[in-house]
Chain A
Amino acid sequence: MSLGLEASGLYKTYNGKPVLADCSFTLQEGRTYALMGPNGCGKSTLFRICALIEESDQGEVRYLSGDSVLQPDVSLRRMLTLVLPRIGVFNTSVFRNVAYGLRVRGVARAETAVRVEKALEFVGLTHKRDQNGLTLSSGETQRLGIARAVVLEPAVLFLDEPTAFVDEKSKAQIEEIIQRIRRDGNSLVVITTHNRVQAERLSDAVLQMSEGKIMA
């Protein structure tokens, strides 16, 4: 299912410090957006709120399928996937890391195996499938994070600084993976980055965030 996203009047405060202030924007289904902004401007908070794993203090995030608005419940949350800057590797094999999201959704073992193998191939980690996820390099770890997300075939994919902690070679590999996701066009993809050139290369539109709101 393709989804569009509308956020209106989002506010979020941590310990009295406003992080999001009247943040509103609209994202169209199937497109790829890059979200840019300085550290601490609220990008990661916005991602967590949009991925429905954290609530805003005020405002609303609405997901649209055609003209209908979807209820913000578990089934909607499972159509969205967020890849964190530190992806949070589980202390188990690469295979089981990638299978995690399918397992919590109750997907059958045989189907899980097929989809995980496909996702591992997609990010070039097939040869690491039995290795403990914690022993991967930084670049491989980021690719593992992307594999854990794409295996779920999400309607909306949030990638929070996917190339922040990797070397140039890994950065190129990850960018190439993102381009393939983008070409598939099945998901609404939102990426945060500090690199303007990368943002323009990877996205259909660049959004600028400053002081807790989207500027353009």
Chain B
Amino acid sequence: MNSIFEGISKAASLIVNLDAELMQIILLSLRVSGSALVIATILAVPTAGLLGLKRFPGRGAVLSVLNTFMGLPPVVVGLFVYLLLSRSGPLGFLALLYSPTAMIIAQIILSYPIVASLCHTAIVSVDPIVKQASMALGATPFQVSLTVINEARYGIMSAVIAGFGRVTAEVGAVLMVGGNIAGFTRVMTTTIALETDKGNFELALALGIILLALSLAINLVLRFVQKKGALRAET
């Protein structure tokens, strides 16, 4: 019990003193997850718009695949990206394995189905009367689509935040394709796993606290966004 309190106390000291190693790990984590999420969102929103607003053959199958991939095990994604980027893999010539770029690719694959699927739900939840009103006011089909997507913006923001929660908490895939190299590919989750193995709980606890704080912040933002979006549901 004492070692836990001691660990927490030392972890607090690391946070308060803005320990250089701790900061480097946090910033890399945010850079990797942030980049992955931006790219996943850029890909996911048009996908969701297409699935939510257009009818085409195979649409149901695409939706089923997306929903299935929402629960993709990170280690499977890690394995897939590893095989893709390893020296003997099809993209091995790019020499990306054990780099932040490889971690970003893995996190894009993990977050894309979640963001796309939740964005789709948000878009199909928009009152159909909005689409008709937009058409009645002279919008072109493309402008109508943009209007519906804009009306779904709070749901889309919730989807992005949920995706961010997924990638920041993920450890398996980034460990496999990033290699947990100190100062280069070591992020919060992989550091916690490593330092716990080594019995070095201070840094692990400090990062655990930061991750929890991040999770709390994400949830607060999510609640705020959902509260703003609730205006539509109430009226």
> For chain B, which range describes its interface: under 10, 10 to 19, 20 to 34, or 35 or more residues?
20 to 34
Q: Pick the contact of B139 from A51, A104, A134, A135 — CB < 8 Å? A: A104
Q: Across the interface, name the chain A residue whose C-beta is closest to B140.
A: A74
**Distance of B34 from chain A, by nearest CB (Å):** 27
* Contact residues of B between 100 and 139, Cβ < 8 Å to A: 127, 129-139
The reply to whether B151 and A83 form a contact with Cβ atoms under 8 Å apart is no
How many angstroms between the C-alpha atoms of A104 and B133 in the bound complex?
13
Q: Which of A82, A90, A105, A149 contacts B130 (CB 8 A)?
A: A90
Taking a contact as CB atoms under 8 Å apart, the answer to whether B137 and A148 are in contact is: yes
Give the docked Cα–Cα distance between A67 and B147 (Å).
Answer: 37
In the complex the two chains form, what is the Cα distance from A88 to B129 in whole Å? 5
Is A163 close to B, CB under 8 A?
no
What CA separation (Å) do A78 and B140 show in the bound complex? 10
Most buried by B among A101, A104, A152: A104
* Nearest A residue to B133, CB-CB: A88
B54 to chain A, nearest CB (A): 17
A100 within 8 Å of B (CB atoms): yes
**Cβ contact within 8 Å between A86 and B129:** yes
Contact status B137-A152, CB under 8 Å: yes
| In contact, B140 and A104 (Cβ under 8 angstroms) | yes
Question: Which chain A residues lie closer than 8 Å to B139 at the CB level?
Answer: 100, 104
B232 within 8 A of A: yes
How far does the Cβ of B229 sit from chain A's closest Cβ, in whole Å?
A: 8
Please tell me the size bucket of the interface on A. 20 to 34
Report chain B residues within 8 Å CB of A91: 151, 231-232
Tell me if A77 counts as interface (CB < 8 A to partner B). yes
Q: Which residues of chain A are near B232, meaning CB under 8 Å?
A: 91, 134
- In chain A between 116 and 164, which residues have their CB closer than 8 angstroms to a CB of chain B? 132, 134-135, 148-149, 152
A-B interface pairs (CB < 8 A), number: 63
Interface hits, B127-159 → A, CB 8 Å: 127, 129-140, 143, 147, 150-151
Q: How far is the CA of A132 from the CA of B134 in the complex (A)?
A: 17
- If the complex has contacts A88-B127, A88-B130, A90-B147, are A53 and B140 also in contact, measured as CB distance less than 8 A? no
* Interface presence of A87 (CB below 8 A): yes
Is there an interface contact between B231 and A53, defined as CB atoms closer than 8 Å?
A: no
Question: A81 in the interface, Cβ–Cβ < 8 Å?
Answer: yes
Chain B residues with Cβ below 8 Å from A152 are: 137-138
- The answer to whether B133 and A81 have CB atoms under 8 Å apart is no
Q: Does B3 contact A (CB under 8 A)?
A: no
Asked if B235 is at the interface (CB within 8 A of a chain A CB), the reply is yes
What residues on A are CB-neighbors of B234 within 8 Å?
Answer: 134
**What is the minimal beta-carbon distance from A25 to any residue of chain B, in angstroms?**
20
Is A89 in the interface zone, CB < 8 Å from B?
yes
Determine if B235 and A88 form an interchain contact, defined as CB atoms under 8 angstroms apart: no
Assess the B231–A84 pair: CB atoms within 8 A: no
CB atoms of B129 and A104 under 8 A apart? no
The chain A residue sitting closest to B154, CB to CB, is A91
Distance, CA A74 to CA B234, complexed state (A): 34
Q: Judging by beta carbons under 8 Å apart, are B137 and A100 in contact?
A: yes
B-side contacts of A134, CB under 8 Å: 231-232, 234-235
Determine the distance from Cα of A215 to Cα of B150 in the docked complex, in whole angstroms.
42
Once the chains bind, are A101 and B235 in contact (CB under 8 Å)?
no
List, in ascending order, chain B residues with CB within 8 A of A53's CB: 132, 135-136
A18 to B114, CA, bound (A): 42
Of A74, A86, A88, A148, the most chain B CB neighbours within 10 A belong to: A88
- 19 residue pairs A–B, Cβ–Cβ below 8 Å: A48-B132, A51-B136, A81-B137, A81-B138, A84-B129, A88-B129, A88-B134, A89-B133, A91-B232, A100-B137, A101-B137, A104-B134, A104-B138, A104-B139, A132-B231, A134-B232, A135-B231, A135-B235, A152-B137
Given pairs A86-B129, A90-B147, 14 additional interface contacts (CB within 8 A):
A48-B132, A74-B140, A78-B138, A81-B137, A84-B129, A88-B130, A89-B235, A90-B130, A91-B231, A91-B232, A100-B139, A104-B134, A104-B139, A135-B235
